[in-house]
Amino acid sequence: MTRLKGNPLPAEAPTQSIALFNRALKVIPGGVNSPVRAFGAVGGTPRFISRGAGAYLYDADGRRYLDLVGSWGPLILGHAHPEVVRAVVEVSQLGTTFGAPSWSEVELAERVTASYPGLEQVRFVSSGTEAVMSAIRLARAYTGRDLVVKFAGCYHGHADHLLVSAGSGLATFGKPSSAGVPAAFVECTRVLPLDDEEALEALFAHEGARIAALIIEPAPANHGLLLQRPEFLKKLRAITRQHGALLIFDEVISGFRVARGGMAELTGITPDLATFGKIIGGGMPVGAFGGARRIMSRLAPEGDTYQAGTLSGNPVAMSAGIAALDVLVKQNAWAHLEALGAALERMLQPVLAKSPFPVRFVRLGSMFWLALNDGPAPRAAITLTELESERFASIFHAMLARGVYLPPSAYEVCFLSLAHTTADLEQLVAALGESIELTARRVK
C-alpha cells in the first residue's frame, strides 16, 4: 500500500474527529448541519476539518487530504485563495452588514448579468435554496399560474414544494420526499423523468395552461452527473415557450463552473430565469436569481411579489464573490479547468479499463462522477444496487486512507479547482487504482 506524501498516518483512527463528533452528536442532530456530511452512506466517522489550503483539507488530527468536494461546488479557486481572503478581511473591517444597500451588490450584480445570457437583472439571497424558492414564486406571479414541473434526479434545495419525488405513473403527481411536507404543498408540483420527450409532451398537452415554470439543472449534478442530450434541453425551451410557461435553469452548481455563462452559454439556450449560488459567493453564503427586467420587475419593491432578506447582498459575501469571479475571468479559468478535467480523464482511462467491476468516468469540464452502475452512463436518475453502493463505500474509505477526500456518497459529483495540479491528479489516479483493486477483493 503506497502512502501519499504529507499523509503519514493513513491507517490510524481519527481520534480528534471522533471526539468532536461525539460532542456534536449531543448538541447537533446527527452531529452535522447538512445531512450528507455525516458519512451516512459510507459509514465511519466524518472528518472534522480544521483548515483548507489550495487543493487540500486538513482534519482535526492534522491529516492532509486532496479535496475533491470543494465544499460541494463553491471552491472553484481552491481553499483560502489569497484574493478571496484579502477581500473578506478588507471588507469586514469596514463592517459586516449594513441593512442598507452598498457598492459591492452593484459590482457583483454587474458581473453576473454581464456574464449570463439574457440576464438583465439579478437579486441576491443567502443560499441556493432561497434563490430557487424565490424564482418559483416570481414565475408564478408573472404567469398567474400555479404548477411547477421538475425532474426526478434534479435537486433544487429544500423548499417544501420542491421536496417531491416521482409518484407512480409516468408524468406524475409528486409525493413529498421528506416528512413534514404536507401533501397539499406538493399538489402544485409535477415530476417528470429526465431524458424523456414523450412524458414531457404528455404533461404539457394535459396541463400546459396551468404550468407556471419548468425547472431543471441543465447539467444535473445532484444524483450523479446526468448529462442531457442537447435536443432534450432544446425541447424544454420550445415547449415552455409554446405553452407560455417560464423555463428556469437552476445553475447553482453549473453557473460559473462549466463556463462563464454556465450551461446557457454551453448549450446556446437562454432560459427565462436562472438561479445561482455556490461559486458566486466565493465560499461565503450567497444565492441569486435573475432574468429579463420585464419579469424581475414584478419583485417588491417595484412589483407585487414579496421577497426579502436581512443578510441578502451581504457585503462580505458579495466581496468574496467579486474576488472569485475576477480571478476566474483574469485567468481564463474555464479553458484551464477543461484541460485539467480532460487530463484526468486520459490518465484514468487505463485504470478504469482494468477494473474488474464497472467504474465509468462521467465528466463535464471540471466536474466529474464515478458511476458504478452496470451499463452506459445514465441520463436519467438511477438507483445503484446494494453491491454497487458497497463498492462505493469501500472505494471511499480506501481513498480516504490514501489521503484523497471524495464526496461521501455514490451519487455526488467531484469537483476540480484551479488549485489542483497535475501532481495532484497523479496521486488521485494512483490512489483510485489501488482502491479499486482493494475493493474488488473486499466486496463480492
Ligand X SMILES: *Cc1c(COP(=O)(O)O)cnc(C)c1O
Assess 412 for contact with ligand X (CB under 6 A).
Answer: no
Amino acid letter, 415: F
Of 155, 195, 411, 424, which one is the catalytic site residue? Answer: 155
What's the min distance (Å) between Cβ of 114 and ligand X?
22
Assess 162 for contact with ligand X (CB under 6 A).
Answer: no
Residues 249-278, interacting with ligand X (CB under 6 A) = 250, 252-253, 277
- Of 134, 135, 124, the closest CA to residue 287 belongs to 124
Active site residue 278: yes
Residue among 260 and 402 whose Cβ is closer to ligand X: 260
Assess 54 for contact with ligand X (CB under 6 A).
Answer: no
Amino acid letter, 363: R
Assess 127 for contact with ligand X (CB under 6 A).
Answer: yes
Interaction mask 182-221, ligand X, x per CB under 6 A: -----------------------------------x----
- Of 292, 278, 364, the closest CA to residue 328 belongs to 278
Residues 276-305, interacting with ligand X (CB under 6 A) = 277, 287
Cell of 312: 441578502
Assess 157 for contact with ligand X (CB under 6 A).
Answer: yes
The answer to whether 337 and 365 have CB atoms below 8 angstroms apart is yes
What's the min distance (Å) between Cβ of 385 and ligand X?
25
Active site residue 250: yes
Three-class SS string for 341-407? HHHHHHHHHHHHHHCCCCCEEEEECCEEEEECCCCCCCCCCCCCCHHHHHHHHHHHHHHHHCCEECC
Among 47-55, 245-253, 371-379, 421-429, the segment contacting ligand X (CB under 6 A): 245-253
The per-residue DSSP string of 336-352 comes to: HHHHHHHHHHHHHHHHH
What's the min distance (Å) between Cβ of 358 and ligand X?
26
Cell of 187: 399538489
Among 63, 64, 156, 391, binds ligand X (CB under 6 A): 156
Among 115, 172, 222, 267, binds ligand X (CB under 6 A): 222
Amino acid letter, 13: A
The answer to whether 380 and 191 have CB atoms below 8 angstroms apart is no
Three-state DSSP class for 52? strand
Report d(CA 101, CA 107) in Å as an integer: 12
Among 54, 128, 218, 262, binds ligand X (CB under 6 A): 128
Number of residues this chain uses to bind ligand X (CB under 6 A): 14
What H or E segment, with its residue span, contains residue 371?
A: strand 367-371
Assess 312 for contact with ligand X (CB under 6 A).
Answer: no
Of 59, 67, 195, 250, which one is the catalytic site residue? Answer: 250
Report d(CA 274, CA 122) in Å as an integer: 9
- Of 6, 15, 19, 5, the closest CA to residue 58 belongs to 6
Residue among 105 and 251 whose Cβ is closer to ligand X: 251
Among 4, 68, 125, 132, binds ligand X (CB under 6 A): 132
Over its C-alpha atoms, the chain yields an Rg (Å, rounded) of 22
The answer to whether 320 and 284 have CB atoms below 8 angstroms apart is yes
Cβ-closest position to ligand X = 128
Cell of 193: 423523468
Residue among 60 and 279 whose Cβ is closer to ligand X: 279
Among 42-50, 124-132, 203-211, 236-244, the segment contacting ligand X (CB under 6 A): 124-132
Assess 155 for contact with ligand X (CB under 6 A).
Answer: yes
Cell of 353: 479499463
Contact positions vs ligand X (CB under 6 A): 127-129, 132, 155-157, 217, 222, 250, 252-253, 277, 287
User: What residues are labeled active site?
Assistant: 155, 250, 278
